[in-house]
Amino acid sequence: MRAVLVKNNGQSADDLYIGERPKPSPDAKEVLVKLLGSTEWISCKARYLSNGTCANMPIHIYRQRKGGYPVPPGVSDILGVEFSGTIEELGSEVSGFEVGQEVIGLAYGGAYAEYITLSAGNVMPKPKNLSWVEAALTSQTCAYAIAFQALISISELKSGEDVLIHAGASGVGVAANQLARLYGHVITTASSKDKLDFLHNMPKGSTHGVNYREQNFAEEVGVNVIIDFIGPDYWDKNIDALAKDGRMVILASMSGSWITVPKVNLVKLLYKRLRVQGSTLRSRSPEYQAALVKRFWDECGSHFQGEELKVYIHKARTLRSRSSSHSDRQTDLQMDRSGRSA
């Protein structure tokens, strides 16, 4: 089968090439899927689909290509984790699916290829109203489901609560804005008026935007939940912006790994009874990921039928232009699914 492979340690986007790999066979509890859509999440740029087109590339795929993103032991060295396609073969112990069924799924790797095998627990029926690319996007626990995990599973967001979402025009940011609006008031940060207008004008978009280049988001005090991708540079302001009993989920640390300010006031956490939690998803067990995706679709899948949740696709590219999306990523032009820079 054809697959997008990496040479020379992946330090350049030109180190991606189309090669041949053996077509995999499913184990007893796995399914073999012929891929028709493959996509990922955060700060999106276009990327490969096995039928010759592609959609959106996230930062963790870019970093994995360069050897800077650890993956679980035994994971395929082929990039890509989310996909849509049709089941071609069932393992001997698999039930509830059939050959030819259209599915979406989440794998630990291997989605930049024509075929993939993975646990049957990590695939779900494809929504009939979505295209292959849209379906691959909505299968993302690294976008909609990871936003769902942060907002609902971890933060336990309640109706009427206020949410502050940083990096709002990133892939997860777009998903989080829409999901949070199902519950209440949403404040989002981005770097330009165009991005803030886009986020506000989504059918379920932000209710208030903050241009972090010109405004101080910490003045938006009293939010119940913060979804943060920035890390150290925003630590003090985030703590100030949280209301009592507030919750903050840190999904990335784009400003570095260390809080280097001279003093960090832990008393604020005590006095305001704050809860801060970090979260990654790729290191979670297949069982956890399967349960999370199922819960997301059970609770939120119907919202894709209308306009409450909507997939925004930046662009599609051919498999032969495999380096273009990584070249774009290398210039740090982060794009959301609508094509706006983040």
Domain with CATH 3.40.50.720 in the chain: 155-278
Contacts of 134 by beta carbon, 8 Å cutoff, 6+ apart: 311, 313
10-19, 49-58, 120-129, 324-333: which is most confident: 120-129
Q: HSE-up of 11 (CA within 13 Å, CB side)?
A: 2
Task: Give the pLDDT score at 50.
Answer: 32
Q: What is the pTM of this model?
A: 0.80
Report which of residues 196 and 341 the model is more confident about. 196
Per-residue pLDDT band for 177 (boundaries 50, 70, 90) equals: very high
Q: Using DSSP, state whether 232 is helix, strand or coil.
A: helix
Domain with CATH 3.90.180.10 in the chain: 2-142+285-306
- DSSP strands (E only) in the chain: 2-6, 16-20, 30-39, 82-90, 102-106, 115-119, 123-125, 163-165, 186-190, 208-211, 223-228, 242-250, 275-278
Residue 241 region by backbone torsions, left for phi larger than 0, else alpha for psi between -120 and 50, else beta: alpha
* Residue 192 burial (C-beta neighbours within 10 Å; 0-12, 13-18, 19+): middle
pLDDT in tens, 202-252: 988 899 999 999 999 988 779 999 999 999 999 999 999 999 999 999 998
- Which pair of structure tokens corresponds to residue 301? 């899948």
> Residue 236's CB: how many other CB atoms inside 10 A?
16
pLDDT in tens, 288-325: 988 998 899 899 988 988 778 888 876 655 455 544 44
Report which of residues 138 and 36 the model is more confident about. 36
Strand 208-211: give its sheet, edge to edge: 208-211, 186-190, 163-165, 223-228, 242-250, 275-278
The residue type at 187: I
pLDDT in tens, 142-153: 688 889 999 999
The one-character DSSP state at 151 is I
- Strand-strand pairing, 30-39 and 115-119: antiparallel
Angle at CA of residue 283, ends 282 and 289, nearest 5°: 60
Cα 335–chain centre separation:
13
- DSSP letters spanning 69-106: S---TT--SS---EEEEEEEEE-TT--S--TT-EEEEE
Contacts of 39 by beta carbon, 8 Å cutoff, 6+ apart: 47, 49, 54, 55, 56, 82, 83, 133, 136, 137, 140
Task: Give the pLDDT score at 334.
Answer: 43
Please answer whether residues 12 and 86 qualify as being in contact, where contact means their C-beta atoms are separated by less than 8 angstroms.
no
- The CATH number of 2-142+285-306 is 3.90.180.10
Please answer whether residues 112 and 80 qualify as being in contact, where contact means their C-beta atoms are separated by less than 8 angstroms.
yes
155-278 CATH choice from 3.40.50.720, 3.40.50.300, 3.10.50.40, 3.40.50.2300? 3.40.50.720
